[in-house]
C-alpha cells in the first residue's frame, strides 16, 4: 500500500505545476493595467456596474459571455479613424454577481480571453494585439474628441 502522505504530496505538486503553467500562459498573453486608484467613492457614476469597451486590434466575429451567458454576438471591427471599435456594454455587479467571469471568443482567429472582472473599477478597456490582450482598468473615463 502506498504511503498517503506521499500521495498527497504528489497531488499537491501536480496541482501547483498546473497552476504555474496556467499563470505563465496568462502572464504571457494578458497584460493588465490599473491606471487609477481603486477608490471610486468620489465618482459621480454607478458604483455597482462596469462599462467594458472594446478598443483597438479587433477585426473578428466575436462572442462575449458573462458568467457563461451570451451578451454580444457580432463582428468587432476597429475603426482606423478612432482606434476603437466604438462598441461597449455595461455589466451590473448587483444584478448578475460580484465576481463575474468575462469570456471573449474570437471565432475567425480562434482566440479566447477568460478573466474575472475586477469590481473595484468602473471602466475596462480591452485591446487586442495579435495573440496578446491588454486590459486597462480605470475609474475615470477617457474623453474622446
What residue ranges define each of the domains in the chain, with the CATH number in brackets?
32-138 (2.60.40)
Is residue 30 within 8 A of residue 135, CB to CB? The reply is yes
Entry pTM:
0.74
Is the pLDDT reported for residue 71 higher than 70? yes
Residue of higher predicted confidence among 25 and 95: 95
Residue of higher predicted confidence among 43 and 110: 110
Measured CA to CA, the distance from residue 60 to residue 63 in angstroms comes to 10
The mean pLDDT value of the chain amounts to 79
Own/partner long-range contacts of 125-129 (Cβ < 8 Å, ≥24 apart): 125/53, 125/55, 126/52, 126/53, 126/54, 126/55, 127/55, 127/56, 127/57, 128/56, 128/57, 128/58, 129/56, 129/57
Is the pLDDT reported for residue 20 higher than 60? no
Q: What's the pLDDT tens digit per position in 87-115?
A: 999 988 877 777 889 999 999 999 999 99
Question: Please, which pLDDT band fits residue 24 given cuts at 50, 70 and 90?
Answer: very low
Is the pLDDT reported for residue 133 higher than 80? yes
3-state secondary structure of 25: helix
Question: Please, which pLDDT band fits residue 12 given cuts at 50, 70 and 90?
Answer: very low
Amino acid at each position: 500500500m502506498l504511503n498517503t502522505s506521499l500521495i498527497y504530496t504528489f497531488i499537491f505538486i501536480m496541482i501547483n505545476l498546473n497552476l504555474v503553467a496556467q499563470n505563465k500562459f496568462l502572464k504571457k498573453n494578458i497584460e493588465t493595467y490599473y491606471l487609477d486608484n481603486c477608490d471610486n467613492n468620489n465618482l459621480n457614476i454607478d458604483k455597482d456596474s462596469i462599462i467594458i469597451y472594446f478598443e483597438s486590434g479587433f477585426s473578428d466575429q466575436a462572442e462575449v459571455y458573462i458568467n457563461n451567458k451570451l451578451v454580444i454576438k457580432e463582428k468587432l471591427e476597429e475603426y482606423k479613424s478612432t482606434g476603437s471599435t466604438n462598441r461597449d456594454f455595461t455589466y451590473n455587479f448587483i444584478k448578475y454577481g460580484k465576481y463575474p467571469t468575462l469570456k471573449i471568443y474570437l471565432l475567425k482567429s480562434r482566440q479566447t480571453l477568460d478573466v474575472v472582472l475586477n469590481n473595484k473599477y468602473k471602466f475596462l478597456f480591452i485591446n487586442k494585439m495579435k495573440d496578446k490582450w491588454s486590459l486597462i482598468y480605470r475609474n475615470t473615463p477617457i474623453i474622446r474628441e
